């Protein structure tokens, strides 16, 4: 994204807030994009609820409670000094401790972490659980780094961040580039520097040391459950459908698994080097071996699977599918790619990633009558299951896989219904973008009003 985004004008009740955001936080295009979408959706709510305007809810909501940026020095295997930048944006604690993942990717900057933290406020509110919104990360790139280098980086990162975390303060989890390996190193260093085995200060932990069953699977499974709910409203299902998925990380792998279990054929996976098409259905065991164990590039999948082909230069969205689950990164589905998906007959799009579809793509899907689930709702299963992990840590209980998956399914159903009803209440039936923003906003705004000006 660039600064040349042409944002359409907003209602008079919200435009001044957006103008302030543009002035106060210039050069943060992803953050502007996320704020613009929410302000657009909630303008009708403000007309019915002047108390939100009088209470200055919006002016406060768009400004993070706290922004932390820090130096992360570490030494690589060749003995060279490396310096990265660390971030933690503690956006809103009105509903509970700050909660949101850590992203390690070279593209990470303040704008990206702020957009993710802002989205997280409403997503977490939608889950109905007691969790605030935050996000963090670093421009560190784990690709091609040895385990020892990743460990030294994680330890240095936590040497600074630990003082801002805690089970009642701020509870991180994984995101792009932060999986089981990184969480282990980060948790270990927190334990060392604080002298506390504080299980509830991090979620996504290994199931052998405080992690919850289904947390690893939750975001991908949840994005499929949400799509299942949308389809069910129209008496449709995953059975016999072709599903297109981008990415080949945590979210993508488990979206593929659940879609396949529901009788669909998942035909694509990708990474930043290209994509694979496998009309026989993605072989999950092979994909997991390559991505979770060997940390290989996606071309290797096609090298080892006769039914698959690798495409280096092209778009994964050129492949005709009935259901699309973008699960890689923000702004990965352009307006042109949305048009291709529509022309190829896509029926539903469920955002596994955060904000993967550009605004024009979202508009195109909605105008074409494609069922569209925004990430805020569709990928909330991850953080919802993180909250279940926090509950289990606090009560020192362990739930079974089946119980945890049933709870996740129930939560995704509730999120779907909350978004669906909110959209209907405000006269935009079937608009899950508006519905999710409104349902999340109402819960946050009411809590802010009740707790006074802080
Ligand atoms: P992973 O790091 O496990 O996987 C990310 C995948 O997306 C990789 O295949 C990666 O390829 C690809 N990718 C990342 N950035 C780019 C890029 N700029 N261009 C092309 N491909 C890219 O991350 P997750 O699966 O955890 O996260 C994926 C998305 O889901 C993110 O938007 C994240 O914010 C969102 N999300 C994740 C949750 C979770 O629980 N993990 C919860 C809610 C949302 P490569 O290896 O080549 O970089």
* Residue of 175, 220, 310 to test ligand 1 pocket, by largest number of atoms within 8 Å of CB: 175
367 is an active site residue: no
| Spacing, Cα 175 to ligand 1 middle (Å) | 7
What is the pLDDT at residue 1?
Answer: 39
| 8 A C-beta contact, residue 255 and residue 221 | yes
- Pocket lining: 219 vs ligand 1, CB cutoff 6 Å: yes
Closest CA to 101 of 136, 141, 68, 66: 136
Contact of 125 with 95, CB cutoff 8 Å = yes
Name the residue with the closest Cα to ligand 1, atom 42: 382
Handedness of CA 41, 47, 52, 53 (dihedral sign): positive
Contact 351, 370 (CB under 8 A): no
- As given in the structure block, the two tokens for residue 176 are 């792009």
- Closest ligand 1 atom number to CA of residue 352: 30
Q: Could you write out the three-class secondary structure of the chain?
A: CCCCCCCCCCCCCCHHHHHHHHHHCCCCHHHHHHHHHHHHHHHHHHHHCHHHHHCCHHHHHCCCCEEEEEEEEEECCCCCEEEEEEEEEEEECCCCCEEEEEEECCCCCHHHHHHHHHHHHHHHHHCCCCCCEEEEEECCCCCCCCHHHHHHHHHHHHHHHHHHCECCCEEEECECCECHHHHHHHHHHHHHHHCCCCHHHCCCCCHHHCCCCCHHHHHHHHHHHHHHHHHHHCCCCCCCCEEEECCCCHHHHHHHHHHHHCCCEECEEEECCEEEEECCCCCHHHHHHHHHHCCCCCHHHHHHCCCEEEECCCCHHHCCCCEEECCCCCCCECHHHHHHHHHCCCCEEECCCCCCECHHHHHHHHHCCCEEECHHHHCCHHHHHHHHHHHHHHHCCCCCHHHHHHHHHHHHHHHHHHHHHHHHHCCCCCCHHHHHHHHHHHHHHHHHHHHCCC
The structural domains of the chain, with segments of one domain joined by +, span 15-61, 66-198, 218-378
Ligand 1 closest atom vs CA 178: 2
**C-beta separation of 185 from 150 below 8 A:** yes
CB 329 less than 6 A from any atom of ligand 1: yes
Q: What is the largest CA-CA distance in the chain?
A: 63
| Tokens representing residue 4 in the block | 């040349």
Distance CA 438, CA 1 (A): 26
Instruction: Tell me how far the alpha carbon of residue 327 lies from the centroid of ligand 1, in angstroms.
Output: 6
- Beta-bridged to residue 70, according to DSSP, are 86
In this predicted model, what pLDDT tens digit does every residue of 127-160 receive, in sequence order?
A: 999 999 999 999 999 999 999 999 999 999 999 9
User: Is the CB of 385 inside a 6 Å radius of any atom of ligand 1?
Assistant: no
Give φ, ψ of 211 to 5 degrees. -80, 155
C-alpha 251 to ligand 1 mean position (Å): 7
* Closest atom of ligand 1 to CA, residue 251: 25
pLDDT at res. 6? 76
- Cα torsion at 258, 371, 331, 253 (round to 10°)? 0
pLDDT reported for residue 4:
52
Instruction: List 373's β-bridge partners, or say none.
Output: 350
pLDDT digits (tens, 9 = 90+) for 247-303: 999 999 999 999 999 999 999 999 999 999 999 999 999 999 999 999 999 999 999
**Residue 98 alpha carbon to ligand 1 centre in Å:** 21
- Ligand 1 binding pocket includes 374 (Cβ within 6 Å): no
> Would you tell me which CATH number, out of the four given (3.40.50.10860, 3.40.30.10, 3.40.50.620, 3.40.50.300), belongs to the domain 66-198?
3.40.50.10860
The whole model's pTM is what? 0.97
In CATH, what class is 218-378?
Answer: alpha beta
Domains 66-198 and 218-378 share a fold: yes
**pLDDT tens figures, 338-348:** 999 999 999 99
The rounded Å distance from CA 99 to ligand 1 centre is 18
Q: Is 246 touching ligand 1 by the criterion CB < 6 Å? A: no
Q: Of these residues, 135, 241, 258, 291, which one is catalytic?
A: 135
Q: Is 437 in the pocket of ligand 1 (CB under 6 A)?
A: no
Q: Is 354 in the pocket of ligand 1 (CB under 6 A)?
A: yes
What is the Cα–Cα distance from 24 to 17, expressed in whole angstroms? 10
Measured from the Cα of 177, ligand 1's closest atom is 2
Q: Ligand 1 in contact with 272 (CB < 6 A)?
A: yes
| Ligand 1 atom at shortest distance from the alpha carbon of 375 | 44
Pocket test for ligand 1, best of 34, 249, 274 (most atoms within 8 A of CB): 249
Q: Which residues of the chain are modeled with pLDDT < 70?
A: 1-5
């Amino acid at each position: 994204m660039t600064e040349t985004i042409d944002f359409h004008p907003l209602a008079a009740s919200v435009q001044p807030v957006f103008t302030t955001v543009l002035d106060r936080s210039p050069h943060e295009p992803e953050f502007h994009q996320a704020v613009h979408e929410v302000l657009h959706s909630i303008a009708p709510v403000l007309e019915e609820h002047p108390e939100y305007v009088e209470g200055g809810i919006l002016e406060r909501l768009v400004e993070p409670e706290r922004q932390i940026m820090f130096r992360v020095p570490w030494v690589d295997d060749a003995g060279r000094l490396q310096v990265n930048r660390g971030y933690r944006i503690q956006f809103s604690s009105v509903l509970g401790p700050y909660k949101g993942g850590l992203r390690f990717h070279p593209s990470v900057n303040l704008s990206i972490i702020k957009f993710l933290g802002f989205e997280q406020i409403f997503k977490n509110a939608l889950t109905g659980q007691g969790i605030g919104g935050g996000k963090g990360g670093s421009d560190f790139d784990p690709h091609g780094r040895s385990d020892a280098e990743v460990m030294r980086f994680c330890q240095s990162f936590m040497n600074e961040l630990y003082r801002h975390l805690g089970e009642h303060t701020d509870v991180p989890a994984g995101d792009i580039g932060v999986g089981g390996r990184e969480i282990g190193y980060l948790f270990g260093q927190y334990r060392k520097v604080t002298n506390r085995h504080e299980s509830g200060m991090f979620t996504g932990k290994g199931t052998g040391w405080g992690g919850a069953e289904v947390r690893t699977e939750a975001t991908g499974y949840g994005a499929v459950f949400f799509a299942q709910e949308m389809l069910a409203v129209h008496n449709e299902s995953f059975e016999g459908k072709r599903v297109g998925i981008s990415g080949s990380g945590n979210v993508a792998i488990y979206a593929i698994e659940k879609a396949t279990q529901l009788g669909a054929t998942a035909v694509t996976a990708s990474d930043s080097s290209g994509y694979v098409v496998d009309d026989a259905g993605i072989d999950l065991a092979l994909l997991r071996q390559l991505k979770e164990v060997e940390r290989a590039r996606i071309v290797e999948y096609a090298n080892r699977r006769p039914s698959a082909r690798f495409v280096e230069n092209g778009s994964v969205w050129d492949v005709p599918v009935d259901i699309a689950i973008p699960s890689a990164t923000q702004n990965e589905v352009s307006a042109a790619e949305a048009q291709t998906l529509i022309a190829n007959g896509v029926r539903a799009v469920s955002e596994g990633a955060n904000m993967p579809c550009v605004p024009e793509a979202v508009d195109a899907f909605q105008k074409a009558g494609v069922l569209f689930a925004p990430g805020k709702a569709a990928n909330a299963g991850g953080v919802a299951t993180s909250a279940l992990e926090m509950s289990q840590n606090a009560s020192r209980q362990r739930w079974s896989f089946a119980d945890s998956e049933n709870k996740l399914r129930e939560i995704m159903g509730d999120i779907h219904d909350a978004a669906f009803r909110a959209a209907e209440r405000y006269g935009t039936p079937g608009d899950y973008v508006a519905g999710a923003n409104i349902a999340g906003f109402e819960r946050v705004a009411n809590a802010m009003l009740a707790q006074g000006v802080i």
